[in-house]
Amino acid sequence: FDASQYAAELRSHWADNGGDASYALLTRAFVLANATSSRIKIVDTLVNFLRVLIEGDPSSILPAVWLATNSISPPYDELELGLGGSSISKALKKIYGLSSQGLKTLYDKHGDAGDVAFEAKKRQSFTLVKPKPLRIKGVYHSLMKIATSKGTGSQETKQRIVEKLLQDARGAEESRYIVRTLVQNLRIGAVKTTMLIALARAFLYSKPAGAGFEVRPLDQLARLKKDELAEIYSNAEEIVKASYARHPDYNDLVPCLLDIGPTDELLIRCGLTMHIPLRPMLGSITRDLSEMLTKLQGRDFSCEYKYDGQRAQVHCDEQGKVSIFSRHLELMTGKYPDLVSLVPQIRGEGISSFILEGEVVAVDRETGDLLPFQVLANRAKKNVELGDIKVNVCLFSFDLMYLNGEPLLDRSFRERRELLRSLFVEIPNLFTWVKSMDASSADSESILEFFKSATEVKCEGIMVKLLDNETNTTTNQPPTSLSTTDTEQPVHQSETPTTKPKEKAKEKSSRRKPLLSTYEPDKRLESWLKVKKDYSSSSETLDLIPVAGWHGQGRKAKWWSPILLAVRNPETGTLEAVTKCMSGFTDKFYASNKEKYAPGSANLISRPSYVDYHGEPDVWFEPQEVWEMAFADITLSPTYPAAIGLVSEDRGLSLRFPRFLGVREDKSIDEATTGDYLALLWRKQGERAAGGEGEGEEE
């Protein structure tokens, strides 16, 4: 890989394309990105590509960014391509002259629709009329037309656009990526973070003609020391990431970058905005209360019930207009008209506008008792009328991010919470605050009581949040030993004067890092910890994708058992097998699973190229579901490729005693657990175990 050669190649592109960037240019970037699993190389490829557009055709950057991030608009815009697999198959047959059998043979061989298009295009007989090259802007506009055509005749319109795109694709690679784009599975590593890093760096080097911001000449950057350059990169990346976390819409970010580059002003021009959801702050995992106390020792924190519902971000402007967004930034205003109707009552005197966050939980209207998540999941997913609501909910609010025109993100949690609780009006069983208890690590007895009371009312555990910003080092009082698993048998070893030097060094380094209690969108920090109810020895669960099955034995002969499950690799788009599971399923579930993945149904597919597993299951499932799985612990595995390369060069990770808990109806496969996360859990498990690394082998 030679970045400068690639940049020169890209530049020569303008000679043939008269300033309107061709789709071939983007395809070339996809091919290069796809050829490597190195994040650095993928970033380099994108930086080079973006720089050529910045200097030669800035108007193609925005459509290119959407296409490269496998989307056409932000999640809350509710625009969907809505193309079924049959529409793509029909177009492939028509444009590439394939018979139904020919198409099936290609699908059986390749699995991925894009790979099928690649092969079909390669085999296509010579066409006399060479189509005009596809343009980046043109492809994006075609997708927008597909997403926005509604009503009678819209299916035909969409079909015509799909066929035209396939017809105009010039080479086999263009066909591959057009089809992958249409099925919204690009399978390159240009996901959100990679793209944000690439944008930040590209605008450090290049600017459009006439833009007012400064770029560093290349020769000047080349003379910098490695760490000076790293600092310049990291500042720009932090600004771009922070802007996107507060205002996750490329339609606003890209024009701002073209105008002012990755400067501090970006956060003012493209920051927290009413009716645009910010990306939520996330909690870090802890094994149990002991670990939580160790992490937060010497600090004041708040323990809160961790309710089992759906996260909601509520925006209300000065005119009283309300928007409600989900954890994944989808618009839910129509789903919760009952919450919308509460807003005028909860808005206390002196509140003009606000953004608050809380957990929506199904409750018994009379008693206020919390009901399980499954009850909430039964509620209609889309727009409902107030009168048709069957499942009552209560919003348990836990944070306030914006008030009366002012972002509160930089305020301490104590201040934000005080504003929330003093200004808003509680309505019993409809709107209230999360149940909480302020504490410090000395209060271990009462924290354990609080934790128990949370689990008794069917909460998932507790969230523990730092109350104040820390400016300097704090005293390290040894925490009282405590375990959620067994209160009689403390698992934590309190510090004694004979602490080993290694532990001392570890502690010193953790003392050096002051923790902040500010609201940090899109970050998973140690200032928000979650402590969940224990399952076996692991308190975490994983959200895995069922990808294959075997014929069951004996009593289970009629069903698929065991079932192979996978984690996601967001870098490569691959699904990496992590474990086989045959525990936790009821007979009823087995039967419905067999019905869903019945022989001959479209839900069974031939071996997909994008699932990484070397064994031979009897059938492959079309990946479409997310299952919540419990497990005893994570092990290094010579058989399963999950997270390979992250903790060991030649071994992946697997689970011991995996157990099915339920289907995550609220999650799509894009939200399933990633290999990175699994590796993080493995490391945490290693830190906990005596001697650290290298938990035993998979059983």
Is 695 near ligand ATP (CB under 6 A)?
no
Q: Which is nearer to ligand ATP, 434 or 630 (CB)?
A: 434
Indicate the residue among 158 and 465 with the shorter CB distance to ligand ATP: 465
Cβ at position 398, least distance to ligand ATP in Å? 4
Is 664 a residue that touches ligand ATP (CB under 6 A)?
no
- CA 21 – CA 170 distance, rounded (Å): 14
Tell me the H-state helices in 57-206.
61-68, 85-96, 100-110, 113-123, 136-148, 154-168, 172-182, 192-205
Least distance (Å) from ligand ATP to the CB of residue 559?
A: 28
**Read out DSSP for 202-268?**
HHHH---TT--S----HHHHHHS-HHHHHHHHHHHHHHHHHHHHHS--HHHHHHHHHHH-SSTTHHH
Residue 280 or 608 having the CB closest to ligand ATP: 280
Interacting stretch for ligand ATP, rule CB under 6 A, among 51-59, 304-312, 497-505, 579-587? 304-312
Among 138, 262, 283, 573, binds ligand ATP (CB under 6 A): 283
How far from chain centre, in Å, is Cα 312? 16
User: What DSSP letter does each residue of 287-334 carry, written as one string?
Assistant: SSHHHHHHHTTTSEEEEEEE-SSEEEEEEE-TT--EEEE-TT--B-TT
Contact region with ligand ATP (CB under 6 A), list: 126-134, 306-314, 478-486, 507-515: 306-314
Q: How many CA atoms lie within 13 A of 663 on its CB side?
A: 12
Binds ligand ATP (CB under 6 A): choice among 29, 236, 393, 434: 434
Backbone angles phi, psi at 359, to 5 degrees: -110, 125
Contacts (CB under 6 A) with ligand ATP, residues 447-466: 463
631 binding ligand ATP? (CB under 6 A): no
Beta-bridge partner residues of 530: 285, 463
Report DSSP letters for 18-83, one per residue: TTS-BHHHHHHHHHHHHT---HHHHHHHHHHHHHHHHHH-GGGHHHHHHHHTT-SS-GGG------
Instruction: Please report how close the Cβ of residue 341 comes to ligand ATP at its closest, in angstroms.
Output: 22
Which position among 306, 492, 651, 684 is part of the footprint of ligand ATP (CB under 6 A)? 306
Tell me whether residue 306 is one of the annotated catalytic residues: yes
Site membership for ligand ATP, residue 282 (CB under 6 A): yes
Residue placing its CB nearer to ligand ATP in the complex, 70 or 541: 541
Q: Which residues pair with 579 in a beta bridge?
A: 565
Give the residue with the Cβ less far from ligand ATP, 282 or 442. 282
Question: How far is 1 from 560, CA to CA, in rounded Å?
Answer: 45
Rounded to the nearest whole angstrom, what is the least distance from the CB of residue 101 to ligand ATP in the complex? 44
Active-site entry in 306, 335, 465, 667: 306
The CB-of-543 to ligand ATP minimum distance in angstroms stands at: 7
Distance separating alpha carbons of residues 67 and 245, to the nearest angstrom: 20
Q: Which H or E run includes 445?
A: helix 444-456
Degrees, nearest 5: CA angle 578-579-581 = 150
Q: Three-state SS string across 588-646, please? A: HHHHHHHHHCCCCCCCEECCCCCEECCCCCCEEECCCCCEEEECCEEEEECCCCCCCCC
Q: Say which amino acid occupies 658.
A: P
Residues near ligand ATP (CB under 6 A), total:
12
- Residue 654, classed as helix, strand or coil, is strand
Contact between 178 and ligand ATP by CB under 6 A: the answer reads no
CB of 462: closest distance to ligand ATP in angstroms?
A: 8
- Nearest approach in angstroms of CB 565 to ligand ATP is 16
Nearest to 458 by CA among 599, 576, 363: 363
Q: Does 520 bind ligand ATP (CB under 6 A)?
A: no
Residue 346 vs 681, nearer CB to ligand ATP = 681
Nearest CB to ligand ATP, comparing residues 180 and 568:
568
CB of 446 to ligand ATP, least distance (A): 18
Q: Which is nearer to ligand ATP, 118 or 413 (CB)?
A: 413
**What residues contact 334, with CB distance under 8 A and at least 6 apart?**
382, 383, 384
- Report the residue count for the chain: 699
Q: In whole angstroms, what is the distance from residue 63 CA to residue 59 CA?
A: 8
Least Cβ distance, residue 276 to ligand ATP (angstroms): 19
Q: What residues from 308 to 367 belong to the interface with ligand ATP (CB under 6 A)?
A: 311, 327, 359
Cβ distance to ligand ATP smaller for residue 340 or 464: 464
Of residues 138 through 177, those in contact with ligand ATP by CB under 6 A are: none
| Closer CB to ligand ATP, 137 or 533, in the complex | 533
- Identify residues 398-427 at the interface with ligand ATP (CB under 6 A): 398
Among 115, 168, 173, 304, binds ligand ATP (CB under 6 A): 304
Select the span of 22-30, 102-110, 130-138, 301-309 touching ligand ATP (CB under 6 A).
301-309
The minimum distance between CB 307 and ligand ATP, in angstroms, equals: 4
Q: Which of 66, 177, 301, 307 contacts ligand ATP by CB under 6 A? A: 307
Amino acid present at 482: L
Contact 282, 523 (CB under 8 A): yes
Which amino acids are annotated catalytic?
Answer: 306
Residues that bind ligand ATP (CB under 6 A): 282-283, 304, 306-307, 311, 327, 359, 398, 434, 463, 530
